Each structure stands twice: as C-alpha cells, then as structure tokens.
Amino acid sequence: MSPANSDRVWVVEDDERVRRSLTWLLESVGLAVHEFPGAEPFLEALDPTRPGCVLLDIRMPGMGGLELQQLLARDHPLLPVILITGHGDVPMAVRALKAGAYDFFEKPFNDQELLERAQAAIQQHRAALAEAASRAGIEQRIARLTPRERDVLALMLEGAPGKVMAARLHISPRTADVHRHNVMEKMEAASLAELIQLCLAAGLKPG
Amino acid sequence: MVSPPRHVVDNRSQCAESARPHLSGAPETAAIVLRCCRLHAREEPPLRALTLAIALLPLLCALPPAAGGPDTGAGGLPTAAAPTTPANAQPLRIGVLAWRGSERALSSWMPTAEHLRERLPDHAIRLVPLGLEEMETAVASGELDFLITNPGHYVHLENTHGVGRIATLETHTLQTPSQALGSVVIARADRDDLQALSDLAGQRLLAVSPEAFGGFQIIQDELRRVGIQPRRDLQELRYTGFPMDQIVDQVRVGAADAGIIRSCLLESLVAEGLVEPEQFRVVGERAEPGFPCRLSSRLYPDWPFARLAHTDRDLARRVAIALMEMAPPEDSEALGWTVPLSYQPVNELFERLRIGPYADFPENPLAELLYRYRWPLLAGLLVMLIGFGHHVRAEYLIRQRTQALHETMRQREAAEEAARHRQEELAHVARISTMGELAAGLAHELNQPLAAIVNYANGCRRYLEPMDERQVPQKARLLEATRHIAEHGGQAAEVIRNLRAFLRKEPGEFRPVDVNQIIDEALGFMAVALRRAQTRVECRLGTGLPPVRGNSVQLVQVLLNLLSNALESQAELPATARFIHLSSERAGDRVRITVADPGEGMAEAVRARAFEPFFTTKDRGMGLGLSLSHSLVQEHGGRLSLRPRKSGGTLATIELPLQEETDA
C-alpha cells in the first residue's frame, strides 16, 4: 500500500458526479487519479509507460466504454482496464471480460473491493512493465552478439562443453572459450545459470 | 237365376217329354210347371206337389201340340204357348231366362202367362225359355216382345239393346222387392276350413258363367271386396253353364271346393228333396233381416219384366197394367208384379266389376286418364323435373356460395383476429419494453448520484480513519455517519436494482427473421398514419436477403419508432416534399436497414444525446423511443445509428447480425 508517485489511476466517466466521487474515494487511499469525461481526452493524455489502471464507465456518449476497452486491449495490452457498469449492463461487462478486461464493478461500489482490485491492477501493470522492460534489455544484449556468438550462446544453453562446441562450430577450443567469455560479458551474466535465466525470461528456449 | 220360383214343384212327368223343345243342348224337358202355393211348405211338400201335379195333369197333357211341336211362331225359338189361345190372336212372345232349365222356366212363369192371356185375349202369349246368350241373340233379332230375366242380364240388355223394364217381380214373403236377390257360396259340410269368403283363395270354385248374375257376378263383387280376384287368387274357376243345379251336384261330390249359386236355390233343392241341408255349409254367410234364405252376399232388386225397344208402346202399357193387376193369390208366398224398380245397385256392381255396360270402362280410370294424356303429362313432368332440377341446382349453388362466403368471412375474421392479436402483442411488448426502458432510465438516473454519494461517504471514512481523536474529536461519530450514508445509499441502490429487475425488458425469443417482412409489417401498421400525413414511402428492398437473428416484434417496434420520427420530422414540409425512403441490403455479415427522411434533422448536440433515456426535443415525448430502439437493437447484437442526410433530414441505420447457420 505504498503507492509510488508514478502510479496513475485513469478514470474515464462522463457523469461528473460519479467521476468526482470516484476520484475522492481513490485519493482517500493515496492513489493518484487522472480523470476524464470521455474517451478522446483520455487517449490524448494517456501515458501507458506509467504503472496504473483504467476505470472505465461502459455507458458513455461518443466512444463507449466497450469500444474504448477494445481499443486499449489492442494498443496497450498490458494496461489493466476495470469496467464500471450501471445496472443491467452485466452481459456487456461479461463480454468485456472475455475480451480481456481486468475486472468490472457495478455501481454503487463496494469501496474495499474496488480499491483492492485497482491496486492489484496497478501492481500487475507495474510487474508487466518491468518484465517487458527487462525482456527488452535482454533482447538488446542479445542484439549486441555477433552471429558466431549467438551460435555459441545457443550451444551454451544446450549445456555443450567447450570441446563439443569447438567441434560443432569447426573452431579451436580456444577460440570457443573466447566466444563464451564475450557472450557472458555482453549478456552481463555472472554465471551460466544466470545466463539461462535471462534467456528464459526473454523467451529464448534452450535447444 | 230366376227369382220367382222360390219353390217350384219339380214335375218331371212323362207329359213333359213331349214338350221338349229343340233347344240346342238343353237337356231339360219343357213342361208347364204349376206354381207352388207355398214357398216354404216344409211340411209335406211332396204330397202337396203331387196333388197339384195330378190336378193339372189334363191341362199339361193338352199342351204338347202348342208347346212341343216345331213351333214356327218365334222364328224357330221354342215357345210355350198358353192354352186356349184364340185363333186370330197376335203372337206375344215373352223370353224367359231358363236358369234351371227350360222346364222349370216355363213352369215358373206360367201363372204370369195365364194372367196375361186372360187380360189380353187378343194375343197369343208364348213363353220362350232361353239361355243368356240365346236371349241376347233373340233380343238383337227382334224375335221377342217382352222378356223376364235376372237383374244383371236385364241391365246388360238395357244398355246394349234398349230394353225397358215395365215391372219388377214381387214376392210376398220378402219385405221388399228391392232386396230380393243374392248369391250364396256353398261348400261341403266337412270343409271346416272354408268359413269366410277370403278362405276361398287357392280353392277350386264353380260358377255358372262369367255373365251369370246370381251365379257369379254378385259373388265376384263380394270377393273383390275381400281382396280376392278370381283369376289371380283362385286355384281354379270353372264355369258350368245352366242349369245351376249341377254346381250343387259337383260340390257335393267334391269336384270343386265351393260353388256359387243364387240365393234360395239351396233351399229349393232341399224342399225338393234333392239335397240334404246338412251336406253343405255356406261360405261367408251373412244375415239380411227378413230374408228367408242363407246368403253370402248383399241383396239386389228382383227380376224385371221388360219390353223390347221395338215393342208397341200401347201393348207394353197394357201388359204393364195387366201385370200390376195380377191378382195376388191368397197365398202370401205367391208371386206378383209391382212398379219397376231402380236397378242402380246392379249398375253399381257392374261398374265396380268393370263388366256389362262398364266393361269398356278402364279398370282404373286414373290410369286410363294418365295414359290418354301421357304426352302432355310427360311434358309437364319434364318441365317440373327441369324446374325441380333448376331449383335443386340453385339451392346447391346458393348453399355453395353461402359456404364460400362463410369461408371468406371466416378467413377475413381470422386475418383480422391475427392482425389484432399481432397489434396487441406489439402494444404489449411496446408497453413492457417502454416500462423496462423507463425503469432502466430511472435506475440509471438515480443510480449515478447514489454511486457518488456512496463513494463520497466511503472516501470520507477512509480519510477519517487514519486521524486521531485530537484532530477530530467526533471521529467515532463521523465514522458511524459515513458508514450509515454508504449503507443507506447501497440499500437505495438495491431497491432500484430490484425494481429494474422486475421491469426488465423481456429478452424475447430470437429466431431467424426476414428483414423485408419486418419492414412490410411496420409499414402495414403505419399505413393509416402515412396516408393521413400524405407522405409517400419509397422502398428499395434487397432480394434474397439472409435472415437475421432477432425478435420480430421488437424489430417491428424499432422500425415503428424510426418511421414515426421520420414522419413527425417533416410535418412542416409541403405535402409534395414529404417522403420516407426505406432500404434493406446486405452489408458483410450483417443486414442493413435504412430509414431516411427529408425532415428538420438533428443538431449535433441533440444527436449525441438522442439515445439517452428521457432526452427529448418533442413537446410531448417521453424521450424513450430512440433510447428503447437503441437498446433493443443492441440486445440483438446490432447497432443503431443516426446521421444527417446531405440534402437535409436524418438517415437512421440499423445493422443486424445474420442468423448464424449453426443456430438455425
């Protein structure tokens, strides 16, 4: 429950009364809230790189909540969207959940649940962002490898010893050792185990 | 058939031999027979008869030259001239029916002949015994001046040869000469099975001849009355001819089952000692008061004395007077003559039997009439048949057309009923869905502020919680209040939720729906309003459109909303400019319906809120029409949109998903 300053809750709700009260409620637990009366201003202001979540009213003039949610799911799949529905919009909310929404709430809200889910969504977003970032870092490291070093990395992930590696690549064992060293260096891995973990995180499979 | 000889003394003396006429086939001896004084002299009849015979013997014996010789006086007819005829006397020939033979005929009528001789001394009275046919021949040839015969024969001759009765026989033993003559059917006494005349059916019956009155015709009439036609119903009908006595003989020996004889013959035979009364029974016996003999029939008038057509009137009058004056013997059983009676009963009998003068009459006058007029009748019948046929045909056609009319009316009623039902259904759905929309709108409108209230309350509580008592001395009470606010707000929202659930729009059953049919139906409902508004409708409907998945009632309702909006939006336009364009087409995996009008259109701000419940620009609208239409289309998984037309007015578009084939 210690929100970082960078955290944001994006509230998109056309009804000002509800919007303001939501903000009031969210701020009561220290969340930073950005509120918008419609989809368009929200999309203009959105910073998807900040950890956060979107509270979205389904019934809105212009671009409705569902439409916006689908748009977000397409463009910012990591950003969690919590839908807020009036009575009777439950089937819509179910459709939204199937389409990837994080959760939905009926007005009026059970504040406890809503706040917990909102914070959970923010945490998830933060983790996802971090993961994406780390994956992006590993990928950058992999990108720095030469083609020969990538071959060596692949064999290292298979657990092939230096001699086998040299034989497979038709190079001398000494040259192979140099490549191995360069790979470890470029991948910023202290050990083989760490290297394997990094590669797994990046989606590279051994073998 | 002769009535007078109730009792005749059968004097078969040898003298009679000489009087034998050369009548063809007549076996009897002609004889002068004395009249018996008493008819029913049961006591000692033989003695009396004998006495009389002896007394008359000389007289009888004197006759032969006149009676038995080859008499030429009557054209070869045998005659019996009365005695003591003057030489210059004119012959007066009286034909008598010889029903029991010539001999008895002559003897029977001798008293009358005697009397006439006395009263008409200038005439030679001759009795000529004749059979039925012989008498008719004699009458036809004018060989007779007078005749005495039975009533039936008389009526026949009256009709055929114009003979006329001048007197009727009168017997003093009878109450009236008009009830003097009948017939009796006899059978052997041992024939117990023959009781009524109807028992004669299937039996063998004897009669004298078809022309015999007492010997056949009277009984023929009686049989007819009990439903027996002799030729049809009898086993046999045999004619014996005269004399009638032979019928009695044949019945007695069993040559026939029954025989017809005239009344009183049986009694005469008994009196004559020729038969025993126990030997016979009478079939169909009936009683006539005052009639002395057994009977099977009704009674008819007694024998007539008749003149022929050519007989001199003066002579006839003299004879008639003489007959009337014939002194009735002191004996009450004697015969006399009285004024001629009517023979109408005989005529009626003949008419009934279609014999004698009525022989030519058709048995069934109606049948004869029908036959004679058969062609006109057939024509008439044909006309009637045609008329009847026409009537029947007309009836049939009327019935058929009435039925067809009924069927048409029934169909129309059914169609009207269906339309009414559909309208009711639509109205019901409209009411329900409007209520649902109302509730949804209301719920939304109330729910929003309630949500805000609850949020604020909860927010307050959360702000308060970390604070200590010094900062907020009433912290506990404020916390309690904020909790209550949130709680009550939640309860209010719950009430609305329940209300909303109660008035929830019926989801409706989704089926494959033909969009064009929906359009037709909606236009049908709007027809009157469209006519009244003088707005023409142009349709460009796609052909072969696949069905959409939907509820036809709800979709019709959506179209009705759009159509009535389109109609109202152009109320200010001149009639010539008013129109509604309707189209349907396929658009990918959807079917698109458009409703376009050239009306006032919608401002951008209005269009943005057009689907909000309770939002309206109309003076008297609830603001639910488009809102409801929108949510109905959304429930169909479709989309309703409003756009301005380039040339002014509004274009409403409905897009509906197709019925998936797997759903169908």
The whole-number pLDDT of residue A44 equals: 92
Decide if A18 and B455 are in contact by the 8 Å CB cutoff. yes
Decide if B448 and A29 are in contact by the 8 Å CB cutoff. no
Nearest CA in chain A to B465: A28
Is residue B432 pLDDT above 70, yes or no? Answer: yes
Comparing B386 with B602, the larger pLDDT belongs to: B386
Nearest CA in chain A to B483: A111
DSSP B335: E
Reported as a single tens digit per residue, the pLDDT across B248-307 is 888 888 888 999 998 888 888 888 888 888 889 899 888 888 888 888 998 888 889 999
Is residue B358 pLDDT above 90, yes or no? Answer: no
Neighbours of B220 (CB within 10 A): 24
The span from the CA of B170 to the CA of B178, in Å, is: 9
What's the mean pLDDT in B351-367? Answer: 71
Is residue B61 pLDDT above 60, yes or no? Answer: no
Is residue B43 pLDDT above 60, yes or no? Answer: no
The whole-number pLDDT of residue B30 equals: 37
Instruction: Say if strands B280-283 and B183-188 run parallel, antiparallel, or are unpaired.
Output: antiparallel
Decide if A87 and B447 are in contact by the 8 Å CB cutoff. yes
The whole-number pLDDT of residue B357 equals: 67
Residue written as token pair 């067809």? B404
Which of A20, A25, A108 has its CB closest to that of B450?
A: A108
Nearest CA in chain B to A62: B608
pLDDT above 90 covers a percentage of chain B that reads 18
Is residue B34 pLDDT above 70, yes or no? Answer: no
The whole-number pLDDT of residue B146 equals: 92
Torsion angle defined by CA atoms of residues A129, A131, A135 and A137, in that order, rounded to the nearest 10 degrees: 70
Reported as a single tens digit per residue, the pLDDT across B45-56 is 455 555 554 555
Q: How far is A124 from chain B (nearest CA, A)?
A: 24
Q: Are B242 and B100 spatial neighbours (Cβ–Cβ below 8 Å)?
A: yes
The whole-number pLDDT of residue B614 equals: 78
φ, ψ of residue B305 in degrees (nearest 5): -105, 120
Nearest CA in chain A to B489: A108
Is residue B329 pLDDT above 80, yes or no? Answer: no
Lookup: tokens for B459: 């927010």
Nearest CA in chain A to B442: A87
The whole-number pLDDT of residue A205 equals: 57
Reported as a single tens digit per residue, the pLDDT across B202-233 is 889 999 888 888 888 899 888 888 888 888 88
Instruction: Say if strands B183-188 and A8-12 run parallel, antiparallel, or are unpaired.
Output: unpaired
Q: Are B220 and B212 spatial neighbours (Cβ–Cβ below 8 Å)?
A: no
Is residue B8 pLDDT above 50, yes or no? Answer: no
Is residue B70 pLDDT above 50, yes or no? Answer: no
Is residue B107 pLDDT above 70, yes or no? Answer: yes
Residues written for chain B: 664
The span from the CA of A74 to the CA of A100, in Å, is: 10
Reported as a single tens digit per residue, the pLDDT across B542-560 is 998 999 988 888 888 899 8
The whole-number pLDDT of residue A204 equals: 67
The type of residue at B98 is A
The type of residue at B201 is A
Comparing B264 with B509, the larger pLDDT belongs to: B264
In A, which residues are within 8 Å of B451 by CB distance?
18, 21, 107-109
Q: Are B8 and B104 spatial neighbours (Cβ–Cβ below 8 Å)?
A: yes
Which of A22, A25, A87 has its CB closest to that of B500?
A: A87
Decide if B493 and A108 are in contact by the 8 Å CB cutoff. yes
The span from the CA of B45 to the CA of B7, in Å, is: 10
The whole-number pLDDT of residue B333 equals: 58
Which of B459, B608, B609 has its CB closest to that of A24?
A: B459
Is any Cβ of chain A less than 8 angstroms from the Cβ of B608?
Answer: yes
Residue B437: pLDDT band (50, 70, 90) is: confident
Is any Cβ of chain A less than 8 angstroms from the Cβ of B496?
Answer: yes
The whole-number pLDDT of residue A36 equals: 94
Decide if B462 and A29 are in contact by the 8 Å CB cutoff. yes
Q: How far is A90 from chain B (nearest CA, A)?
A: 12
Reported as a single tens digit per residue, the pLDDT across B439-466 is 777 877 888 899 999 999 999 999 998 8
The span from the CA of B588 to the CA of A206, in Å, is: 46
The whole-number pLDDT of residue B386 equals: 93
What's the mean pLDDT in B416-428? Answer: 80
Is any Cβ of chain A less than 8 angstroms from the Cβ of B456?
Answer: yes
Nearest CA in chain A to B498: A87
What's the burial of B109, exposed, middle or buried (CB within 10 Å: 0-12/13-18/19+)? buried
Nearest CA in chain B to A29: B462
Q: How far apart are the first and last CA of chain B?
A: 112
The whole-number pLDDT of residue B287 equals: 84
Nearest CA in chain B to A63: B608
Is any Cβ of chain B less than 8 angstroms from the Cβ of A177?
Answer: no
φ, ψ of residue A117 in degrees (nearest 5): -65, -35
From chain A residues 132-151, the ones with a CB under 8 A of any chain B CB are none
Q: Which of A27, A19, A13, A102 is nearest to A60 (CA)?
A: A13
pLDDT, averaged across chain B: 80
Q: What is the pLDDT along chain A (207 residues), one digit of tens a residue?
A: 444 567 889 999 989 999 999 999 999 888 999 999 999 999 999 988 889 999 998 888 778 788 898 899 888 888 999 988 876 667 777 788 888 889 888 888 888 999 999 999 999 999 888 888 887 788 888 888 888 888 888 888 888 888 888 888 888 888 888 888 988 888 888 888 888 887 877 766 554
What's the mean pLDDT in B17-37? Answer: 38
Residue B68: pLDDT band (50, 70, 90) is: very low
The span from the CA of A183 to the CA of A148, in Å, is: 10
Distances (CA, A) of A37 to A41, A66, A201, B459: 8, 15, 39, 21
Q: How far is A19 from chain B (nearest CA, A)?
A: 8
Which of A21, A59, A62 has its CB closest to that of B455?
A: A21
The whole-number pLDDT of residue B624 equals: 79
Handedness of CA B226, B230, B235, B241 (dihedral sign): positive
In B, which residues are within 8 Å of A109 by CB distance?
451, 454-455, 458
Decide if A88 and B443 are in contact by the 8 Å CB cutoff. yes
Is any Cβ of chain B less than 8 angstroms from the Cβ of A105?
Answer: no
pTM (2 decimals)?
0.40
Winning range, highest mean pLDDT, from B86-95, B231-240, B351-360: B231-240
Residue B21: pLDDT band (50, 70, 90) is: very low
Decide if B455 and A25 are in contact by the 8 Å CB cutoff. yes
Neighbours of B310 (CB within 10 A): 12
In A, which residues are within 8 Å of B460 by CB distance?
28
Decide if B458 and A28 are in contact by the 8 Å CB cutoff. yes
Q: What does the radius of gyration of chain A's CA atoms come to, in whole angstroms?
A: 24
Residue B62: pLDDT band (50, 70, 90) is: very low
The type of residue at B556 is V
Coil, helix or strand at residue B567: helix
Decide if A24 and B456 are in contact by the 8 Å CB cutoff. yes
The whole-number pLDDT of residue B331 equals: 59
The whole-number pLDDT of residue B66 equals: 40
